[in-house]
A and B are shown apart, each in its own frame.
Chain A
Amino acid sequence: MGENLLEVQDLKLYFKVKAGKVRAVDGVSFTIKPGEKLGVVGESGCGKSVTALSIMRLIPQPPGEYAGGSVLFEDQDLLDVPESAMRKIRGGQIGMIFQDPMTCLNPTMTVGKQIGEGLRIHLKLSGDQALKRAIALLEQVGIPDAATRVNSYPHQFSGGMRQRVMIAIALACNPKLLIADEPTTALDVTVQAQILELINGVCSEFGTAVMLITHDLGVVAGMTDRVVVMYAGKVVETAPTGELFANPRHPYTLGLLASVPRLDEKRHSELRTIEGAPPDLLSPPPGCPFMPRCAFARAICRTMPPLELVAGNSSHLKACWVNVTDPNEQAYADRRRKARLEATQVAISTSADVTLQQTS
């Protein structure tokens, strides 16, 4: 305790819908140390954004519903503090940037006013002071001619520039933690590089911890100290960045790494795929959520594996019963992949025949 800035423990957030409960976040635990850069990786619908929003208590209730767990920020449980205190923490202690900057900026206010707003509320600065600080912040996030641009409206900025403004707003009050939810997904590659560089530089300078949420393993590799891999509302693997990429231990992480074409590798004729699609969180499969798509799956996978340390490593956790580095297990997985491929061919041709007979 105490050494962690943020400690999320067994967080559960469900959405109530007509047909039941969507287990969007289902027992997520991770920690962030002061100044640490944590990457949270997963596909859409894996619960990574909902995790971030539920840390900030920004999920509307209903339909959202906290079903357990705690979020300790500097040893204070954010799920317990009153809304007024939470408002001070948001923007004051924890800054947040989103995927689409345009929806987060007020189109009728100049960017200077929007940056200054937080400063006036949280740091009790006067209008003049706030404006000066806003100009300084805009300069810091690389907006040329900041003194005049401070009076511009959001629509007068390009996408990349808006994201810079959002970063300035998020960092205005010197927060201890910056949550960046897919900050570059809406941007072009060349602009993405600019923004990532900026977040990295500014946060290192201020000593701000970062929680970077993304679906892009490449972004995580260059920016973070540690990575959390999420699947179907659960954490399946977490490790220091170098360790995770060099030595992935969960079949899902393995699959993700293998299924992305990479610039630095020789081109393969076929990409290794993860077959199927993520489960419906309304009725997730019992046990490990990845089991239906997993080549390594065994009967034991019908019970959910705990998130435990990998043997011989004090900082690498995985939620998987199988040791994927074991050659026997790999042979078993290969056998199942092949069997599946053959069975698929048969299934396709017979089901096509059956349907034809039914229809004709």
Chain B
Amino acid sequence: MDISERLNVPSTGEEIEPFLEVTPQLVQQRRSQGRIIFDRFIRNRAAIVGAIFLILLFLFCFVGPLVTTHNQPDQIHVTDVAQTLAGPSWQFPFGTDDTGRDMMARAMAGGQVSLLIALISMFMAVIVGVSIGAFAGFYGGIIDTLLMRFTDVILSVPLYLLLFVLSASFTDGSPKSVILLISFFGWQYAARLVRGEFLSLREREYVLAARTIGAKGFRIMFRHILPNAAGPIIVNATLLIGVNIILESVMSYFGFGIKPPNSSWGTLVSDGQGFFDVDPLLLMVPALLIFFTVLSVNLVGDGLRDALDPYMTER
């Protein structure tokens, strides 16, 4: 019952043109890696909520003062003592503080300082951490030992204690000095992480392949290895923003960070604390802003961690 017999050999069927492809067409244009990561991030609801909140928060703090009238945080709007510490109203949605200043304007201005400090010190910490970690992990040996022991030493110091001691003598209460201080204590985890990544990635075949084509150290470190270590670094950086916001608030709360005339969410909490029984809003507004910001940052960080998973399948 051979089918070709039934069809009366040799005319199995009409002849067709020879197959011309050098290689089979790539079946479909696959999604790029960036696209895969984005798709996976989008599917994480919590991360999306966090991301949207962060965007709104940035608009609130940085665009808010430009488009609303809440742009005079230091202006004393109410001079009548009976009218200070007012609750929410159309004129002052977050009320006024003990000296009659607009709380909404103060929250926006404080947010600018807090967020900028968190972001800039994150960037500085990541740059320092990545450089140190990259050198330690890539070159290994004595360089690695020295850099990593130094990192360990800094990590083993009680953070807040040293932070307070140092800030008392080294900072002048300006955002710049606080940024320097926070970033000095933020790079160690990034350094450890990057070192670990570099240690494992430098043995990868594509890194060996780069060496055999004569690539030099810097090219291998920053063109071949770093992009492949980007995932964990980005996640770490995101989470570091949250840590920095809290650090800044704590320092400012205890009076070691931002000092008047500057203000941040930390100083607002500190200011509002004394009036908690009279007007809880003064404390709650900055405290909730800090809380939700840190929560959102962590949600986004978790979402990125999943999306950037190196063992990703194309699902």
Contacts and interface: CB of A to CB of B under 8 A. Distances in A.
A and B touch in the complex (CB under 8 A): yes
A329 B20 contact: no
B19 A336 contact: yes
A301 interface: yes
B34 interface: no
Given A293-B19, A347-B22, A280 B27 contact: yes
Nearest to A335: B18
A329 B24 contact: no
A292 interface: yes
A309 B14 CA distance: 23
Contacts of B18: 336-337, 339-340, 343
A133 B314 CA distance: 46
Given A276-B23, A323-B9, A328-B9, A299 B16 contact: yes
A304 to B, nearest CB: 12
Nearest to A17: B315
Given A280-B28, A311-B1, A326 B9 contact: yes
B214 interface: no
Contacts of B80: none
A63 B313 CA distance: 13
Contacts of A336: 18-19
A322 interface: yes
B312 to A, nearest CB: 13
A347 B20 contact: yes
A8 B299 CA distance: 48
Given A305-B3, A323-B5, A18 B15 contact: no
Contact of A18 (B5, B19, B21, B315): B315
Interface string A280-311: 10110000000011000111110001101111
Contacts of A322: 4, 12
B27 A297 contact: no
A344 B22 contact: yes
Nearest to A340: B18
B13 interface: yes
A285 to B, nearest CB: 10
Interface residues on B, range: 20 to 34
A245 interface: no
B22 A348 contact: yes
Given A276-B21, A326-B10, A328-B10, A321 B4 contact: yes
A309 B4 contact: no
A263 interface: no
Contact of A17 (B16, B24, B314): B314
A211 B33 CA distance: 39
B3 A321 contact: yes
B2 interface: yes
A115 to B, nearest CB: 32
B158 to A, nearest CB: 38
Nearest to B21: A276
Interface in A316-352: 321-323, 326, 328-329, 332, 336-337, 339-340, 343-344, 347-348, 351
B4 A323 contact: yes
A276 B19 CA distance: 10
Given A17-B315, A292-B19, A347-B22, A309 B27 contact: no
Contacts of A282: 27
A310 to B, nearest CB: 6
A277 interface: yes
B12 A309 contact: no
B9 A321 contact: no
B128 to A, nearest CB: 39
A283 B28 contact: yes
A298 B10 contact: no
Nearest to B1: A309
A292 B25 CA distance: 11
Contacts of B19: 275-276, 292-293, 297, 336, 340
Contact of B24 (A18, A277, A306, A337): A277
Nearest to B23: A276
Nearest to B24: A276
A323 B24 CA distance: 26
Contacts of A312: 2
A308 B315 contact: no
Interface in B6-64: 7, 9-10, 12-16, 18-24, 27-28
7 contacts: A18-B315, A298-B13, A300-B13, A308-B3, A337-B18, A340-B18, A348-B22
The 3 closest A-B pairs by CB, nearest first: A311-B2, A300-B13, A298-B13
Given A18-B315, A310-B2, A340-B18, 8 more contacts: A18-B314, A275-B19, A301-B13, A321-B4, A323-B5, A329-B12, A347-B22, A351-B22
